[in-house]
Amino acid sequence: MGDVLTWLTFTIGGRPDINGVADTSLILAGVTWSLPYEWLFYFTLPVFGCLFLLRPSIAWLAGSLIMIAFIRYNWHPEMSVVRCFWGGVAAAFLVRLDVVKTIAKNHLSSSVVLITLVYVAAHFPVAYTPDAQIMLAVAFILIASGNTVFGLLTLPVSRTLGEMAYSIYLLHGFILFVVFRGIIGIDLARTFSMTQYWATISCVSSALVCCSFVTYSLIEKPFMRLAVSYRTTKRPG
């Protein structure tokens, strides 16, 4: 139970093995690594709000500082990952500028996005070097400002998969683990031909999309609607 509770702190306190299962985090493909960064970012928002002359309540500000101290005491972030958030912060400001939105909505910008993403994927072993992060930020800002990459991002299938992206990210490791460890077995999987392997992955991918649709519809979407309703009721006037 202690190990489970540690996981329920969004792994800020670590990702210990549960019930003696070695490398428990691999069951989820280690995707929970990003959660401490996300929560650290969330809790810094009231503090950053003060820098932009906003006035969060004393309770929110105090709670923010307490949680930041708790996270930093129990966990040490990699600054190479923290830098990624600055691209998102820049996008939050730039997407409000008409000139940026105008630049983003043309075929030249679509070409820039594609070339940038292909170049980063082909020339950088990881995405956490400053050069790679700057190029990825450029592509992200253009897309956030309305670029559709030659219309690919406005296709119904793209929009649907985009809405389910977080569920797909969280569930893909679990589905793969169940199929290859629980159903097929690692020893048998090692004997697969390339055709058998990709046929299996195709079936797994279909199952993953179906499961992600269910979790998105029953868990994510209702809470997003609740958040929108909350913001609407709290808005002045």
pLDDT given at position 235: 61
Tell me how far apart the alpha carbons of residues 94 and 99 are, in angstroms, rounded to a whole number: 9
What are 25-43's pLDDT values in tens digits? 999 999 999 999 999 889 9
pTM: 0.79
pLDDT given at position 174: 94
pLDDT given at position 234: 66
pLDDT given at position 144: 94
pLDDT given at position 56: 87
Tell me how far apart the alpha carbons of residues 159 and 156 are, in angstroms, rounded to a whole number: 5
pLDDT given at position 97: 93
Show the tokens assigned to 106: 């043309």
Tell me how far apart the alpha carbons of residues 97 and 133 are, in angstroms, rounded to a whole number: 22
Q: Is 20 helix (H, G, I), strand (E, B) or coil?
A: coil
Tell me how far apart the alpha carbons of residues 53 and 31 are, in angstroms, rounded to a whole number: 35
Tell me how far apart the alpha carbons of residues 27 and 122 are, in angstroms, rounded to a whole number: 28
CB 73 within 8 A of CB 111: no
Where the chain has pLDDT below 50, the residues are: none
